[in-house]
Amino acid sequence: MLDKILNKVQTGELTIEEAKQQLAAYENLGYAKVDHQRKQRTGFPEVIYGEGKTPEQLIAIIDAIQEHDNDVLATRISREKANVIMAHHPACVYNETARILYHKRTLETSSNDNGYIAIVCAGTSDLKVAEEAALTAELFGSNVRRIYDVGVAGLHRLLDNLEEIQGANVSVVVAGMEGALASVVGGLVSHPVVAVPTSVGYGANFQGISALLAMLNACSSGISVVNIDNGFGAAYNAVMIDRLTHKSEK
């Protein structure tokens, strides 16, 4: 990258200011720098992490994004914040289970022949995280299949859905408590598994540590792990992997 920019500066293709632009293409709101060229560079739009930001800050950031005709995707948005924001940005849609607020300008209709991401979750209590993952992946243009409430306590529920899981390009496995689902799925598929520990449980689950450690120590190979409750991160990762299936097409 550096090489190319230096080359262009020497040949005059780029002025120094342009060269700097190429590396620093964000808008400075003072308390935040909004990155408008992120999608061009990485194939993903700038995503807003909603926790700890005021509705006012969120509205201003969305303003800045929309002025550049970019998609809006904000995670960890409470119902209360969503209501305030949607009063200013009525085009935004809110999904309460996934706690995601979004505005998708160009509907990338993902064709079915791309394959899909399987979002597998253990219990009803893991739903929020699973939906954060599923909706994120869909908004990023991947096909998604939801296989929910198939925890290992009732193994037949999982085996009954096995073929659908095995058919995916990549699985996102969401589980709390002892997180055994990741190991079991990992042993039954031959594609990468992104495991998401959730904070579901009580006592010695320590807000998700039990599931996190279990997943890091999974006896099956092919499993990697994201942070506790990080449905968004898992989806982001899975979409990156899913997109590789199209690579040779291009």
Q: In what order do the strands lie in the sheet with 48-49?
A: 48-49, 72-75, 100-103, 93-95
**The one among 74, 169, 173, 174 contacting a copy of itself by CB under 8 A:** 169
Name 56's Cβ contacts closer than 8 Å, sequence gap at least 6.
none
**The one among 62, 99, 155, 174 contacting a copy of itself by CB under 8 A:** 155
One character per residue 96-125, x = contact with a copy of itself (rule: CB under 8 A): -------------------x------xxxx
Does 167 contact a copy of itself by CB under 8 A? no
Name 237's Cβ contacts closer than 8 Å, sequence gap at least 6.
194, 224, 226
Minimum distance from residue 90 beta carbon to a copy of itself (Å): 25
Helices 180-188 & 209-216 angle (0-180, nearest 10):
30
Q: Find the largest Cα–Cα distance for the chain.
A: 67
**The one among 94, 102, 116, 148 contacting a copy of itself by CB under 8 A:** 148
* Of residues 179-208, those binding a copy of itself (CB under 8 A): 179-180, 182-184, 186-188, 190-192, 194, 197, 199-208
Judged by beta carbon, residue 83 or residue 97, the one nearer a copy of itself is: 97
Judged by beta carbon, residue 103 or residue 208, the one nearer a copy of itself is: 208
Does 32 contact a copy of itself by CB under 8 A? yes
By the 10 Å C-beta count (0-12 exposed, 13-18 middle, 19+ buried), 125 is classed as: middle
